C-alpha cells in the first residue's frame, strides 16, 4: 500500500512585511518628530521670522503648519523666506527598516543665540534644541509603537 498527499505550510512574505514596516516606522518617526518641532516654536522669539522660518522645511515634511508673524517693529522686515532657505530638513527612508529625519538651521543668529546671550535677545540663550530633544524623548516614552502583522503565504509541500 502506498500513501501520497500534500501538506500546506506557511511562508513569511518578507518583502510585503518589510514594506509595511517601513511605512509604520515613518509614521512613528513623524509622530515623534512633530513634538520635536514644538521646541523651537515654544522658545524662539519672532522678530523678522528668519530664525523660526528655518524650521519650515521640517514642518512641511512632517505636515505641520507653523504660523510665523514678524514683529511690526522689525527693522529687517519679513525675512521668513531667507530663514526657510537656510533651514535643514532631510528625510532618508534608506534601506527597508531604516528611517531618519535630520533637522537643523544655518541661520547664524539662531545658532549663536541658541547657546549664548549676546545682548540681542533678552530670552537668549534659547535652548530650543535641548527643549525639543526633551519633548521628543518624552513623546517616544509615551508612544506604543506596533509592528505590522506578519504576512503569510501558503506553501504546498508534496509528500512522497
pLDDT tens-place string over residues 19-71: 888 888 888 889 999 999 999 999 999 989 999 999 999 999 999 999 999 98
pLDDT band at 111 (very low <50, low <70, confident <90, very high): very high
Mean pLDDT of the chain: 87
Taking residues 85-94, report their average pLDDT: 92
Residue 5 has pLDDT above 70, yes or no: no
pLDDT band at 7 (very low <50, low <70, confident <90, very high): low
Report the alpha-carbon distance of residue 147 to residue 17 in Å, rounded.
9
Q: Given the C-alpha cell 549663536, which residue does it identify?
A: 112
- Integer CA distances (angstroms), 93 to 6, 27, 96, 128, in order: 42, 12, 7, 26
pLDDT, greater one: 2 or 67: 67
Report the alpha-carbon distance of residue 66 to residue 152 in Å, rounded.
43
List all residues 6 or more positions away from 30 whose beta carbon is below 8 Å from its beta carbon.
62, 63, 101
Taking residues 68-87, report their average pLDDT: 90
CA angle 123, 129, 130 (to 5 degrees): 90
Amino acid at each position: 500500500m502506498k500513501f501520497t498527499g500534500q501538506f500546506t505550510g506557511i511562508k513569511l512574505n518578507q518583502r510585503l512585511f518589510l514594506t509595511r514596516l517601513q511605512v509604520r516606522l515613518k509614521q512613528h518617526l513623524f509622530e515623534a518628530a512633530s513634538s520635536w518641532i514644538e521646541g523651537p516654536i515654544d522658545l524662539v522669539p519672532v522678530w523678522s521670522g528668519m530664525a523660526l522660518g528655518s524650521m519650515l522645511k521640517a514642518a512641511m515634511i512632517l505636515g505641520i503648519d507653523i504660523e510665523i508673524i514678524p514683529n511690526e517693529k522689525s527693522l529687517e522686515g519679513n525675512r521668513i523666506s531667507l530663514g526657510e532657505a537656510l533651514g535643514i530638513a532631510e528625510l532618508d527612508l534608506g534601506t527597508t527598516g531604516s528611517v531618519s529625519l535630520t533637522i537643523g538651521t544655518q541661520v547664524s543668529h539662531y545658532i549663536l543665540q541658541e547657546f549664548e546671550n549676546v545682548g540681542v535677545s533678552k530670552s537668549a540663550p534659547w535652548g530650543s534644541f535641548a527643549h525639543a530633544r526633551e519633548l521628543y524623548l518624552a513623546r517616544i516614552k509615551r508612544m506604543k509603537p506596533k509592528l505590522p502583522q506578519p504576512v503569510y503565504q501558503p506553501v504546498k509541500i508534496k509528500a512522497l
